[in-house]
């Protein structure tokens, strides 16, 4: 192209008439290329901030087809699952575990999306399925932002008090003994934020699997580094447990409240497998090393430790392992999409006298479409 420009300049100087004829004979595509080569690159109107935002979605288009639309509408069915394990020694000194889980609450609702963000509302449909009113006070809020470079999850959960004891048979003296497995003495509040960075973000797309925006064209994986903070408040009225269970657990497993903050650093791997055109399967595993600051109120009203005791000294006994796992399957032709995703969290709290394990997650089934093409993709 530089040679063409040089020839045009020389001919225009020595033979201006022929220069005009030659210029008119150049194909339109060459004219476009010449004009593009000398056109100055447009500056981002947002300056450095705009360049940073562009980098968040920078990708290799041979691996990833970018989102061509501004907006999206989606219908989603969400089923949540939770499990709590309180472990300690029984009155005979043997290890004993108490498994508790709330009743499942299927929810359905609509979502509206703009670029990176999906906002919506779902409502509990279990009364419609069972014909009975649901009196649980469970609440849940989730907000996720996925870009090519980084991702953010923010959540708040309150379980309510509609629990079942899942392992009552472990506490029976005889197979014929009757134990009521309904339990309203547990109430758990959790809130937190997860941040993670994707190393291979130009070839691997997290939004393709969990935000239904971009489309992964070639199979690819990426290591991911993350940080998370979460706060948990567990109210446990152990005195309201069924009497056969209460007779077997030791005082160590009886507490009124546990409050703890969980700081975690995770390192994991995620992989997008393009099983067929427009069809993607993703798996993501992120084990995390966490450090816990806790405050426990025992059943007799005494506290095992003050908040200041946790802050003023580092204790290796407060180190534990958490886990976040994801699985996604999605069909997306850039206009219409449908899929299934599973997200699971696990938190561990271990002390000398007893331990807690809290696991929760969701299964999402969704279908939707994108609309209003972005200006740069109007010709596609």
The pLDDT score that the predictor gives to residue 222 is 95
DSSP assignment letter at 303: B
Smallest Cα–Cα separation from 87: which of 6, 188, 150, 170? 170
How confident is the model at residue 365, as a pLDDT?
94
Structure-token pair, residue 123: 């409502």
Contact 346, 334 (CB under 8 A): no
Of 140, 79, 141, 151, the residue nearest 117 (C-alpha) = 151
State the Cα–Cα distance between residues 28 and 22, nearest whole angstrom: 13
For residue 14, give both structure tokens: 């020595």
| DSSP alpha helix (H) spans, 264-369 | 307-312
Closest by CA position to 232, among listed 302, 287, 290: 290
Cα separations in angstroms, 305 against 21, 292, 295, 376: 91, 13, 6, 60
Question: Is 266:223 a contact under the CB 8 Å cutoff?
Answer: no
Structure tokens at 320: 């534990």
Which pLDDT score, from 0 to 100, does residue 227 have?
92
* Annotated domain spans of the chain: 2-38, 69-377
**Per-residue b or e along 125-134, where b marks 16 or more CB atoms closer than 10 Å to that residue's CB:** ebeeeeeeeb
Q: What is the pLDDT of residue 362?
A: 86
| Tens of pLDDT, residue by residue, the chain (380 residues) | 444 444 444 444 444 444 444 444 444 433 333 333 334 445 555 556 555 556 666 778 899 988 888 899 999 998 888 888 888 777 677 777 888 888 777 888 888 887 667 777 777 777 666 666 655 667 777 777 777 788 888 888 887 777 888 888 778 877 777 888 888 888 888 899 989 999 998 999 988 998 888 899 999 999 999 999 989 888 888 888 888 888 888 777 777 888 888 889 999 999 999 999 999 999 999 988 888 777 665 555 444 444 444 444 445 456 778 888 899 999 999 899 999 999 888 887 776 667 788 888 889 999 999 998 888 888 87
Q: Which sign, positive or negative, has the C-alpha torsion 237, 239, 242, 245?
A: positive
207 beta partners: none
69-377 has which CATH code? 2.40.128
């Amino acid at each position: 192209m530089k040679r063409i420009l040089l020839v045009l300049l020389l001919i225009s100087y020595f033979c201006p008439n022929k220069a005009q004829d030659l210029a008119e004979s150049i194909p339109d595509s060459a004219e476009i290329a010449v004009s593009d080569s000398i056109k100055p690159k447009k500056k981002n109107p947002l300056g450095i901030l705009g360049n940073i935002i562009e980098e968040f979605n920078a990708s290799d288009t041979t691996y990833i087809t970018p989102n061509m639309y501004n907006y999206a509408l989606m219908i989603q069915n969400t089923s949540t699952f939770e499990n709590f394990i309180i472990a300690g020694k029984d009155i005979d000194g043997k290890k004993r575990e108490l498994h508790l889980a709330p009743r499942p609450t299927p929810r359905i609702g609509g979502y509206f999306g703009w670029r990176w963000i999906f906002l919506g509302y779902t409502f509990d449909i279990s009364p419609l399925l069972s014909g009975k009113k649901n009196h649980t006070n469970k609440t849940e809020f989730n907000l996720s932002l996925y870009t090519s470079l980084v991702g953010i999850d923010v959540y708040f959960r309150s379980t309510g008090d509609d629990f079942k004891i899942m392992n009552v048979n472990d506490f029976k003296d005889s197979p014929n003994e009757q134990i009521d497995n309904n339990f309203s003495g547990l109430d758990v509040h959790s809130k937190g934020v997860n941040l993670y960075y994707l190393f291979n973000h130009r070839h691997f797309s997290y939004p393709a699997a969990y935000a239904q925006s971009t489309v992964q064209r070639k199979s690819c994986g990426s290591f991911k580094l993350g940080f998370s903070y979460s706060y948990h408040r567990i109210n446990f009225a152990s005195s309201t447990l069924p009497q056969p269970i209460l007779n077997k657990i030791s005082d160590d497993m009886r507490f009124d409240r546990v409050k703890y903050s969980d700081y975690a650093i995770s390192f994991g791997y995620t992989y997008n497998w393009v099983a067929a055109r427009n069809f993607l399967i993703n798996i993501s595993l992120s084990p995390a090393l966490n450090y816990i600051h806790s405050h426990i109120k025992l059943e007799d009203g005494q506290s095992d430790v003050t908040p200041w005791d946790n802050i003023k000294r580092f204790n290796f006994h407060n180190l534990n392992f958490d886990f976040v796992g994801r699985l996604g399957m999605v069909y997306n032709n850039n206009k219409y999409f449908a899929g299934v995703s599973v997200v699971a969290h696990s938190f561990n709290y271990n002390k000398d006298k007893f331990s807690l394990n809290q696991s929760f997650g969701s299964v999402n089934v969704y279908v939707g479409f994108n609309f209003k093409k972005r200006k740069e993709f109007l010709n596609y």
